Structure 1
Amino acid sequence: MRYRFRCEYLGSAFYGWQVQNEAGKTKFITVQSALEEAFSIALRTPIRLTGSGRTDTGVHARGQCVHFDYDGELDPLKTVHSINGLTKRLIRIRDLERCADDFNARYDAVQRYYQYTIFTRPVALMREYGWECGSLHLDLDAMEREAASFLGEHDFIDFCIPRNDGKSTLCTLYEFRLERVNEWTCVFHIKGNRFLHRQVRAMVGTLFDVGRGRFPEGTVNQIFEKKFKGERTWAPPQGLVLHDVKYEDY
């Protein structure tokens, strides 16, 4: 039988989502490996998990979706309680339920929603959950205008680290909106059908370069058209959160 659940985690405590192996042995603690160990202990059988997508080292999540197969009935509330007790408060799961046997957390996703937080003044309490730009002046209006250039379908090969796996680098973005939370906090809301390796961090880094006046507005389209030359900034991972993943029925 197949089950699914949502999970959130503190990305700075792990080496990304995906299990990493070297010579058949787990080299680093990842979210997937920590959860698989917890499920295997709670259910007393090896469990393999499939997530909706990979998150890099330092990237957080609130709404990662995961599925797994288990040969038997389980008590969702009891299982959630057990898993959350085994993950040292670094991971929390919720909404565990039985699902269709052909449900796939990765391939059935129709939309992924990320948030990226930027602090425009020095901060201490929240710096692990956003990009602290210190006293650097950012033209947020210019960043907001430039963000609109990402909307629609584009080839994002120049806004990612290619995995060289032969898969398409076309993605469709439905929303790229800047929310001014207060005088010193802003959040980008980014929604799309799929995202490539480090794509969001590359996009936000480019907007940062425009906002600080390093590059002019129109830079995003120049990159899409392969008319841009020069090094760009990569946004750090701690400001990024996988907020939600949408499905037709979940």
Structure 2
Amino acid sequence: MRYRFRCEYLGSAFYGWQEQNEAGKTKFVTVQSALEEAFSVALRAPIRIVGSGRTDTGVHARGQCVHFDFDGELDPFKTERSINGLTKRLIRIRDLQACAPDFHARYDAVSRYYQYTIFTRPVALMRDFGWECGSLSLDLGAMEREAQAFLGEHDFIDFCIPRNDGKSTLCTLTEFRLERVNDWTCMFHIRGNRFLHRQVRAMVGTLFDVGRGRYPEGTVKTIFEKNFKGERTWAPPQGLVLQDVEYADY
């Protein structure tokens, strides 16, 4: 039988989502490997899980979706409690339920929704969950206007680290909105059908360069047209959260 659930995790505690076990190298603890170990203990059988997508080292999640197969019945409530007790408060799962046998956490996703937080003053308490830019002055209006250039379908090959796996680098973004949370916090809301490796961090880094006056408005279009020359900033991972993955029925 196939099951699915949502999970949130503290990205800074893991080496990304995907399990790593390269020959001759130490096996790092990833979110995937930690969950598989917990489920294998709780259900007393080897369990392989499939997530809606990968998150990089340091990137957090609140709404990652996962599915797995288990030949047997399980009590969703008791299993959730067991998993949450085994993952040392670094991962929390919820909404565990049986689903259609052909449901796929990755391929059935309609859209992904990310949030990226920037602090425009020095912070201490929340610096692990946002990009602390110190006292650097940012033109948030310019960043907000520039973000609109990402909307629609584009080839994001120049806003990612290509995996060279032969897959398309076309993505469609339906939302790229800047919210001013307070006088010193702003949050980007980013939604699209799919995202490439480090794409969000590349996009936010470019907006940051525009906001601090390093590059003019119109830079995103210049990059898409492959007419840009210069160094670019990559936004750090801790400000990024996979907030939700949307499906037709979940």
For the superposition of Structure 1 and Structure 2, which TM-score range results when normalised by the shorter chain?
over 0.9
Residue by residue, what CA displacement relative to the aligned partner does 1:89-142 show, whole Å, maximum 9, x if unpaired? 000000000000000000000100000000000000000000000000000000
Gaps of 5+ in 2: none
1:85 paired with 2:85, answer yes
Within a 5 Å distance, the mapping from 1:126-137 to structure 2 comes to 126-137=126-137
Structure 1 segments (4+ residues) deviating >6 Å: none
Tell me the secondary structure at the aligned position of residue 164 of structure 2: coil
Q: 1:116 to 1:138 in 2, by over 3 A?
A: same
The RMSD of aligned alpha carbons is: 0.8
1:202 paired with 2:202, answer yes
1:67 paired with 2:67, answer yes
Tell me the secondary structure at the aligned position of residue 143 of structure 2: helix
Aligned-pair distance for 1:25?
7.5
Residue by residue, what CA displacement relative to the aligned partner does 1:127-166 show, whole Å, maximum 9, x if unpaired? 0000000000000000000000000000000000000000
Which residue does 2:168 correspond to in 1? 168
Q: Normalising by the residue count of structure 2, what TM-score does the alignment of the two structures yield? A: 0.99
Name the CA distance, whole Å, in 2 between partners of 1:100 and 1:26: 37
CA contact (8 A) 1:76 1:96 kept: yes
Name the CA distance, whole Å, in 1 between partners of 2:95 and 2:244: 13
Which residue does 1:47 correspond to in 2? 47
Residue by residue, what CA displacement relative to the aligned partner does 1:28-49 show, whole Å, maximum 9, x if unpaired? 0000000000000000000000
Which residue does 2:121 correspond to in 1? 121
Which residue does 1:225 correspond to in 2? 225
Which residue does 1:155 correspond to in 2? 155
Q: Normalising by the residue count of structure 1, what TM-score does the alignment of the two structures yield? A: 0.99
Tell me the secondary structure at the aligned position of residue 21 of structure 1: coil
Gaps of 5+ in 1: none
Which residue does 1:15 correspond to in 2? 15
Greater alpha carbon shift after TM alignment, 116-125 vs 19-28: 19-28
Tell me the secondary structure at the aligned position of residue 181 of structure 2: strand
Aligned-pair distance for 1:23?
2.2
Which residue does 2:188 correspond to in 1? 188
Name the CA distance, whole Å, in 1 between partners of 2:245 and 2:111: 6
Aligned-pair distance for 1:27?
1.2
Which residue does 1:4 correspond to in 2? 4
Q: Percent identity?
A: 87
Tell me the secondary structure at the aligned position of residue 238 of structure 2: helix
Name the CA distance, whole Å, in 2 between partners of 1:228 and 1:27: 39
Name the CA distance, whole Å, in 2 between partners of 1:207 and 1:200: 11
Aligned length: 250
